[in-house]
Structure 1
Amino acid sequence: MDIIKACQERCAPDVFTPPGSYDGRKNFFAARRLPLGPEDTREFDVTLETEEDAARNRSQGGKGPKIYKVKFKLVANINPEVLQRFIQGQQSQDNMVLTAITALNVVIRMAPSMRYPFNVRSFYTDQEKKDIGSGLELWRGYFQSIRPAFGRMLINVDISTATMYKPGPLIGLALDFFGRSNPNDLAPARGLPDRERLRLQRFITGIRVLTPTPDGRQITRIIKKLSPAGAGALSFKLKEGGSMTVADYFKNVIRSPLKYPEVLCVEIGTGALIPFELCTVPPGQIMRKQVPPEKTKSVLDFATKQPADRLASITAGLNVLAYGQSEYVRNFGISLTIVPANGQWNMREKCFFKPVEIPRWVLVSYETTRRFSQQAATQMMQALCESAREVGIKMQPTPIVVLGENGQGNISAQLKAAGKLVVDKYGKGPSLLVIILPEGGNETYTASKHFGDIVMGVATQCLKSSKCVHAKPQYFANVCLKINVKLGGINTVPDANSVRTLSDPQNPTIVMGADVIHPAPGSDGRPSFTALVASVDSDNAKYVADCAVQTSRQEIIEDLETMAKVCC
């Protein structure tokens, strides 16, 4: 899935517009005939590294990125009229009908499959989960399948359950597996029997772990097997001759002594040995092995629901499925229109079209600690993160927090110091600055926006303390609208069926908007201000802008031609 995503978004976006849907195996469905050349076949060289990662590796003398060869070949055309005739009872089921239904199933599963762990027809989220011990937890998931009915197509939705490896330090996972608490219990030299080591090896072989690199990044490795001894007793040959233990390597070469040098190491695909304490298990890894017999009851208790509770879970899952916001669904003409309620957009229980990720952020408050205390900050952050999760934004729930800053002080220095706290903790700068303003904090707003957006190059979101303390979920949902756009996400897009002209990739269309604002009554001699925006993407969701001044109270835009050239 990652390779296909990179191929469509980074390698050949001109070919895959609009993007197609992939089943994770060998079938790829597109809403139009892809420009693959005269023989309808084309091969692409795809890497999973971003340009930033590749440049960093080259500067450090590292190897070039791994290249994956991806070949596309046209094998069939699907006629939707065949499916239409079938559901109207005008023809029998055949391979063309089955292929059309398969294509629709792949389309509706594409968006959740790109965001969540999945298994065939089901995908899983951590919104409902349960720790069952032994290094395992259960996640609630959703099964979905398109089925033909009389005169229409239906989507069958049900709940599902998956057994996941517990995320966090690998040492913690292994200890939980054995039901122990002392990390040294994982040391062969301290009495870990070989049969127990092999039992643990069967349990965790094949899972992904994150390991640190000397430059502060983390890379994904696959566990191949476990070492027979601890890091202090395992030796490897040096290029310049001689040998060194794994523990001595980290102590003398990396300058990072191991806390548990007698504990096991994992061996990865290249044969390298990584100490347990340096490995972290990322969330969302499905255990595709048999559930231990002693855990069967726990699984059944979690999976079994009363009819009313089951329906409630399914209904909640519709917001996660978010068919109306999936670009893949829209591109194939399957749509769900969200109608504004009471003349306003309400984002409660709706997902963004393209939500962003916010792995690192910092909260800086210029309100007094009496009015905005640590408790108020915690409540506000929890409410913001919860609203972000509901609209699809993945937001780190525990940011760096700086309270009680002086709005009359050196704001640039204060924000720079806050950003450094993030760098010191994560090795990278913040993705977002959330700034709490006191009443009448206009100067602080201007200064913080300028320094954050322009000097630091970090998106900022300012909130008034009087508004965000004890605010309702709708308030934070609307804040998320602003945050998502500032970080490059897309909130909503037009329904393809209602504006076919705008969504036709063969005839790109620019949407432009213009306005003039005039000075207040009695403000003699002050100019009017003009503005123009123009769309720059096929979803009509991202815009460039230009503004100008002109004769006071003149409604016609004088420089419209010049401004249009700037925008377009």
Structure 2
Amino acid sequence: KVQLVIPDRDGVRPTRKIRSLEAFAADDEEQAFEVEGQRMTIAQYFKQFYNVTLRRPDYPCISVSKIARWPLELCNVEPGQKWTKKLDPAQTAEAIKRTTVEPGRRTSMLTEGLSRIQPTPAALGQWGVSIDQQPMEVQARELPAPSVIYQQPVRPREGVWDVRGQNFHKACAINNMLVIVFDSPQFFSLTDAQTCVTGLVSACRRLGMHIAHPQPDINYWPQGADVPSFIQSCGAALMQKMGTPPDLVICFLPRKPCDMYGEIKRFGDQRVGVATQCMFENKAKKGGEPYFSNLALKVNVKMKGGVNSILQPSDLGPIARAPTMVCGGDVSHASPGSPNPSVAAVVGTLDPTASIYGTAITVQPSRLELIARLEEMMLKLLKQFWERNGCLPEQILFFRDGISEGQFSHVIAGEVKAVREAAAQAGRALNIEYKPKLTFICCGKRHHISLFPKNPRDGDSKTGNAKSGVVVDTGVVSPFHFDWYCMSHKALLGTGRSGHHTVLVDDSGFTADELQPLVFHLCFTYAKATRAVSVPTPAFYASRLCTRAQLLLSQEDDRTTVISSTSDSSQERMRQRALVEAQGRLKDIHPDQKERLFFL
């Protein structure tokens, strides 16, 4: 939004939203128009009617309506406008720094802020309503953490554990590595690349992985060369030299964000089906053992059959007693104002340990919150489950992220029905009657309940937050739903936000003592971390898969500024065209990436 500022007219400052930046200037004769029988340019108009002589009439004009054009130099940007697009890394870091407040200070801010407000406004007092200025006290319980099983079990402490001295539960072998540096040797030398590769190889070996050739050749990308073609040619040369194709492509990138990142992932995930691991040079050069150990966590699960850790059956509770698929679903939207479609992603476990996942992604109309093609996506996952296990799951546990309470009825009518229809269709394909027990849970962190320990000694030893495993299911929960709050993770900065879980459907009739520990324990299976995450891993994976799908869809042209300058009908046509184009671009993930966590 901009304000039109005209000298000597301080009281008149109309505010308008910019529709577009025009290609013509204020003194463009071709854009002259009739005013009171006289033809004049925009610059002449402002001179005659406002006595304003433009200093730069050659600057472009902005469009604020179908017929109104304003000179650029007479416009001021209205202060205090909300930025809805993605921040760059420096801005993100600054925003986090400014909004990080430790729990004790957060509590004081809330109570002090409330005391400045009239505690019982007249409108509330007439109805006998008052606002307590002190935090509400509720009962909570602390659930024990599960054992995380590598080659040996590890017991997390306050939601965190250490993998030093451990081997992966199923460590993979890397027979052939292809290494490419997408920068000049002047900025990232051969020695730098070799040192970083050695650091990663050492970390992988410490965790039990077999590296057949620990000192691969380093390839430097010629500036301006086509990225996929160069990777392809380097891979072909390596295959000719070693006799086998590369099973891991390591790429060093100069900065973040980097346009080449998307090209690399599209090449590996869709075109060829090879694991790719990118490193940004500044982080890699400074990275020590913890940095490369974290990379090894990602590399192992990107390889065929790699499993970092599992939970023991007793910690999986009811889903360990019968064949079960644990699913996660999410929808991701393009930035506001963009005509680009939304992306939906669903993941589902394919093994008894809930560590091997199948994936399904699709595009759908822009801003649509529900998963439009969930039946088709679930059918694909059920087929994968059958192919791997020779049976269909008796239970389906579905975690849905990103849903508000006002959408619950729509989810039950749409998505729950779609899961049941997919199951029925899978049964018909096998000529059996198939009705699995479905438990559908909405989970998320977008709520306004903050959990603080009454006694600081009962909180996290370092941050003062509620401890990992604290569950609240009384007082602040819904009287209409089976829901609870769980602080599953150890918050690193500021005040931690608990996960909120609401059960919409439960065919199995699980009790709170069965479901709450299970949901908590599933937060300990996120493959690339050695700490519990804030929501169950399937929901987290679905969110990450959405992000990867958006990346696979991305292209150089950006329509965000174009759509804001068009009519409603034109915007709808652009959305429809973008949807059709995206459906053509979002190709299936390569079969060789099947059952791999390629999106981490």
Structure 1 length-normalised TM:
0.38
Structure 2 length-normalised TM:
0.36
Structure whose residues are more often strand by fraction: 1
Q: Greater RCO between the two (CA within 8 Å, min separation 6)?
A: 2
